[in-house]
């Protein structure tokens, strides 16, 4: 009897095998594409967040009260050097830089544009965020009236390496002051604000030009991954404006929220494909084997054994599809993490919006664990309706009807 049951239970036609194989391939391809999309989008956002932190805001930035609203030299931190020394001694702080900023007009012989002058210490910026990696053209050098210009600002004013520009703004006394500069380098930070308007000069030169002192700064940027650091700094400097990265970069917060929505929608679509695929195969398979199940039940096989068999079949299909998708997805993600997707043909449009021409993917274990749980869940849910049909079988009628 048991030989007959096993023979009937595992009897598969060529067409049935083909359907199962097709579903496994469909699950594998769908899953791998979902993993690639998640990895590429996460990599895109991660790259933008990393470069925004390195080029401007850090993990946390400190400003004088009202500075971010008024952008006036009056609202500057006047003991910035002391605060910097205090920060460097705090646990969780990895790097600190001071920056001097002033908004004004950048002019060439033929054209003018709004610009933001930023006084920096190149050595400290290199330690803080590897500033040299932003270099697009020229040489990183701020000596002898040297200046570094954001890529979009350079395009607006048609600047080249060696171009002479004049920056004009109000100094601390309220007088209009100008400084002649020579473009030594063009940088691309993927920070839209900096790329569109920033012109970097030596911090000591900016102090002399604006009438500030070496103790002054408009921004103190801090790198540090400790979660409690932000609250610690807010308590330590209640008279200053302490802001974390996402407060300073709301667009990044929006992109992260969009990423969650995008991944969730993609995830639901793929799980829907998995559910429909396994449901279709199992339902047709059960319809083809109604007589077999009828014989099993008539021979006294409990319904729970048939249920376990069907659950096992659906899980095996889901697992095979998952393994195929995991392997294919991992290979594609490793390739894209190393070599990226080259979109150089659209580089101008991408740079305008702060993206790079080559987009690299990232890999997270959560991609695979979450997908595994979802595919197993979809596999189990997909056989509920077919199982309900089997439970209602009348063995005698089924056997007679199939003759």
User: What value does the mean pLDDT take over residues 43-66?
Assistant: 87
* Predicted pLDDT of residue 14: 61
For 64-105, the pLDDT digits (tens) are 988 888 888 888 998 999 999 999 988 889 999 999 999 999
* Predicted pLDDT of residue 15: 66
| Percent of the chain surpassing pLDDT 90 | 34
Cα separation of 137 and 12, whole Å? Answer: 65
Compute the residue count for the chain. Answer: 403
User: pTM for the complete prediction?
Assistant: 0.75
| Percent of the chain surpassing pLDDT 70 | 88
| pLDDT surpasses 50 at 23 | yes
Residue 75 or residue 266, greater confidence: 75
Q: Which of 96-110, 146-160, 381-395 has the lowest mean pLDDT?
A: 381-395
| pLDDT surpasses 60 at 402 | no
Angle, CA of 93, 202 and 189, to the nearest 5°: 65
User: What value does the mean pLDDT take over residues 218-224?
Assistant: 93
| pLDDT surpasses 70 at 122 | yes
For 188-205, the pLDDT digits (tens) are 888 888 889 999 999 999
Residue 98 or residue 290, greater confidence: 98
pLDDT classification of 218: cutoffs 50, 70, 90: very high
| pLDDT surpasses 90 at 217 | yes
| pLDDT surpasses 60 at 401 | no
pLDDT classification of 399: cutoffs 50, 70, 90: low
- The residue behind tokens 């030009």 is 209
* Predicted pLDDT of residue 8: 43
* Predicted pLDDT of residue 396: 60
Which tokens go with 284?
């047709």
Range 328-334 contact pairs with CB under 8 angstroms and sequence separation of 24 or more: 328/28, 328/29, 328/32, 329/31, 329/32, 329/33, 329/34, 329/35, 329/36, 329/367, 329/368, 330/35, 330/363, 330/368, 332/32, 332/35, 332/36, 333/35, 333/36, 333/39, 333/361, 333/362, 333/363, 334/363
Provide the mean pLDDT of the chain: 83
pLDDT classification of 349: cutoffs 50, 70, 90: low
- Which of the listed ranges 185-199, 307-321, 332-346, 383-397 does the model predict with the highest average pLDDT? 185-199
Which tokens go with 293?
């199940």
* Predicted pLDDT of residue 328: 93
pLDDT classification of 223: cutoffs 50, 70, 90: very high
Residue 284 or residue 313, greater confidence: 313
Residue 320 or residue 301, greater confidence: 320
């Amino acid at each position: 009897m048991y030989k007959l049951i096993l023979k009937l239970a595992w009897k598969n036609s060529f067409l049935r095998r083909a359907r199962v194989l097709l579903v496994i391939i469909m699950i594998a391809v769908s899953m791998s594409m979902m993993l690639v999309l998640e990895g590429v989008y996460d990599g895109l956002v991660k790259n933008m967040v990393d470069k925004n932190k390195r080029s401007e805001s850090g993990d946390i930035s400190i400003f004088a009260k009202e500075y971010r609203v008024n952008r006036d030299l009056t609202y500057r931190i006047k003991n910035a050097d002391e605060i910097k020394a205090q920060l460097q001694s705090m646990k969780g702080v990895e790097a600190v830089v001071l920056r001097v900023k002033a908004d004004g007009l950048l002019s060439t012989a033929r054209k003018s544009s709004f610009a933001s002058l930023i006084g920096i210490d190149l050595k400290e910026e290199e330690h803080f965020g590897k500033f040299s990696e932003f270099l697009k053209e020229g040489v990183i050098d701020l000596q002898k009236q040297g200046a570094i210009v954001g890529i979009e600002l350079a395009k607006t004013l048609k600047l080249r390496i060696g171009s002479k520009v004049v920056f004009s703004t109000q100094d601390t006394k309220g007088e209009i002051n100008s400084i002649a500069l020579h473009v030594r380098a063009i940088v691309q930070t993927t920070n839209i604000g900096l790329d569109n308007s920033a012109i970097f000069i030596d911090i000591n030169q900016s102090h002399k030009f604006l009438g500030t002192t070496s103790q002054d700064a408009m921004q103190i940027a801090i790198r540090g991954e400790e979660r409690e650091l932000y609250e610690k700094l807010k308590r330590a400097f209640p008279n200053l404006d302490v802001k974390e990265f996402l407060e300073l970069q709301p667009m990044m917060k929006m992109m992260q929220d969009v990423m969650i929505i995008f991944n969730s929608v993609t995830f639901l679509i793929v799980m829907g494909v998995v559910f429909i695929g396994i449901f279709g195969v199992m339902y047709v398979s059960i319809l083809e084997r109604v007589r077999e199940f009828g014989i099993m039940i008539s021979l006294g096989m409990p319904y729970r054994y048939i249920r376990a068999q069907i659950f096992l079949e659906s899980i095996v299909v889901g697992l095979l599809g998952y393994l195929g998708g995991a392997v294919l997805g991992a290979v594609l993600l490793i390739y894209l993490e190393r070599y990226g997707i080259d979109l150089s043909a659209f580089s101008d449009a991408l740079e305008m919006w702060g993206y790079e021409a080559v987009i690299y993917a990232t890999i997270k274990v959560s991609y695979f664990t979450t997908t595994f749980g979802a595919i197993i869940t979809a596999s189990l849910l997909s056989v509920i309706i077919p199982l309900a049909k089997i439970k209602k079988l009348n063995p005698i009628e089924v056997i007679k009807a199939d003759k």
